[in-house]
Amino acid sequence: MQARQLEITGAFEFSPRSFPDHRGLFVAPYQEAAFVEATGHALRVAQTNHSVSARNVVRGVHFSDVPPGQAKYIYCAQGAMLDFVIDIRVGSPTFGRWEAVRLDSAEYRAVYLAEGLGHAFAALTDDTAVAYFCSTPYNPSAEHGINPLDPDLGLPWGDLDGEPILSDKDRDAPGLAEAAASGLLPDYRDCLAHYEKLRSE
């Protein structure tokens, strides 16, 4: 498996090798040794999530309070999606920037987002199935959102072949500036301290 660190600190792309034959295909989208070598720590999995989305569905931007935060390891089990890592950590040198990685069931690449980063994706096909390994369980009181259509983020939803389909919760979420002004966003220094703690355990 190949690993690539993205420009946003705490975000990585993983590319596994696939083994097709006359029966179908075998692939291991998560491999602990490659993950530890890239990130410097093991992945704690407290919960796994699975979502299925219609074409043009947008989910996110989602994030959690740090500490403890919620890191996510994500791959597309069926279909195709455009996955976004958004740096929403106040004080980060890349605050407000995002990176996009196409995830699909042809190459089974995966994205890891450390605690404190924002996550969103757009389904590019019907019945896009997404698997998430989460470092902490669902905690509604600690989970927040930013409107993915916020022009300050500049996420390229215009590349979709139709209008983005959002939940009411995501559409009603605050913009990036409003979330920052209200003190809702994670602090970069707190996140770095948390990452260092993970590497020392």
Q: Would you list the DSSP string of 70-131?
A: --EEEEEEESEEEEEEE---BT-TTTT-EEEEEEETTT--EEEE-TT-EEEEEE-STTEEEE
Give, as one character, the DSSP assignment of residue 46: S
Peptide bond into 58 cis (omega under 30): no
Q: Which of 115, 11, 132 shows the shortest CA–CA distance to 67?
A: 115
Which helix (H) or strand (E) segment holds residue 61: the answer is strand 58-64
Give the CA distances from residue 187 to residues 9, 24, 88, 117, in Å, rounded to whole numbers and listed in that order: 13, 45, 9, 10
Q: How far is it, in rounded angstroms, from Cα 115 to Cα 135?
A: 9
Hey, which residues are catalytic here?
62, 132
CA angle 76–92–186, rounded 5-degree value: 70
State the chain's maximal CA–CA distance in angstroms: 56
